[in-house]
Structure 1
């Protein structure tokens, strides 16, 4: 596994080196909405006054220490920095944005400081639970799963386990919470769950079947999109808000089981015609 990772990182280095112009364009877009953005000399950009860490160059590697008095790690700030190993975040930080550390393949250590009360859409996509240290009372890190303080919202699944049981306390599975967990084959969702947000299980390539509890009222757009092996979905109840793109690009999905008498409603919600290869069957 380590050898495979080295090969991937080597290929990424070659790709990044050859895409200097592309990298520049990405950085330009990332900092466009801020004025007087400043490079700290390490390829990391801060807003005027240094309160916001806006973006980092993909070539950033090794250990990086965020400037003192920084209050926000912005959306996607370190997204796709594959050679970054450790990030020291000062206690002054209060918010960590959407996918801020997503796809940092070599990351070994990062923390949620004590004053952080807001996390954006899963800042830790594809990271392992042992990498993350939570110091904030606003969140709970338990068994490689990150929740809000009362464990009613699942923010990030930091595990590559093939089987995951979501606790009964969880009412909402947040956006991208399980995204890109390629080894996940089975997930047990609790009765009492109410909402599965956008991209919650997107690109879970090993997921084969899923049962949606009767308590669920919302399945958002792309909630299970791009799940290559997903063949069967079972709904135990009617879903008030079911996005037609909830199972987008699930090309192996052949069967959707629904409560008797609701077949027509589900077909309409998912825009499935009588000619569709996906069958909607009563249970």
Structure 2
């Protein structure tokens, strides 16, 4: 059933509606006007709409997508709460008149218990987010707030978002309030601009954020330390990875996070990608090459490489990835390098899969797993690897398929090393024979040379160290 909402006083949407069209000229969607409409699957909002009031779409359990037009200024309390199938919230950036978004306030619990919401990008016009606005969004992976002008992440703002891995915050931020990210057990990365002001972090703000590691706090920031008679817990209570690295005290953790990238300049550049252009990163790369050993700063104290930092950021930049690949052209071992959370760089990319990250994934595998095989001149190996990568891109079990492709690459790499070793032994034997008889040049075929140069003994002995198996087993 389709229904047109005209905005008449006391008007309510029928229970069995499937498609709701709000007529042009309607400026306010009133309290509970579409509350608990279990069959609603589509909503069309008009330009000119100003306010969505409390519980307007609360418990519309089958609504998958909502597009909020740029004229909306306020989203009310529980406006979309308990919309359990809501996967996507689109904030329209520009209207036909090219005006910028007007949304200022997302009120208390506006999107709480949206159990299917995967990512949220808040418009730049927003300056207030209410208490518990995104609480219990169980599959939310990424929250981008970096362009807003909010001064605080509210109490319980993202509490119990157990799948949340990455959040980016604005330069205007002053406070992270009580329980803001409490029990976000998958949260690894919190990005603040490199030139941010000091922030205050409240009690239990990161309670049980056991994976948190990729954070750089501004200097002079401070965190809540619980007195013995206080029921509220420390800011970083049960942050296991941070405590293993910096110690148990809150002051130690804050000091460690302020100095997070002091000895890792390239990690720092990859951390806040919005603050650096590719050209600047190229210049930094050149300077570092002339002053530092690349290997010495490749892995930080959390086991993270620049690629871990890069891929855990929201909306990673393609140009910056190209710079990284130019800097580390032969470091294919990074693909299998696990950090303190047991994750490889591409694990972060695969868990936040979008059209943009798909391009980055292809780019990286081409550079590190196809191009080396092409340089070795092994056409069949290269073609096999290209087929494996195409299978990954088309598949649904991407992590498993990548593991198999990487295993095959390691096999090819090992066999290449074996061939090089054999050639080196062969060459040394030929040199030795020629030194014995400079006049008589011996013609040795490959099998004979293998025997007389000792490779038939040496190669089997080193194969176990090269971990060589035939790639068709992958």
What TM-score does the superposition give when structure 1 sets the normalisation length?
Answer: 0.48
Q: Report 1 or 2 for greater relative contact order, CA contacts < 8 Å, sequence distance ≥ 6.
A: 1
Question: Which structure: larger Rg?
Answer: 2
What TM-score does the superposition give when structure 2 sets the normalisation length?
Answer: 0.33
- Report the structure, 1 or 2, having the larger helix content: 2
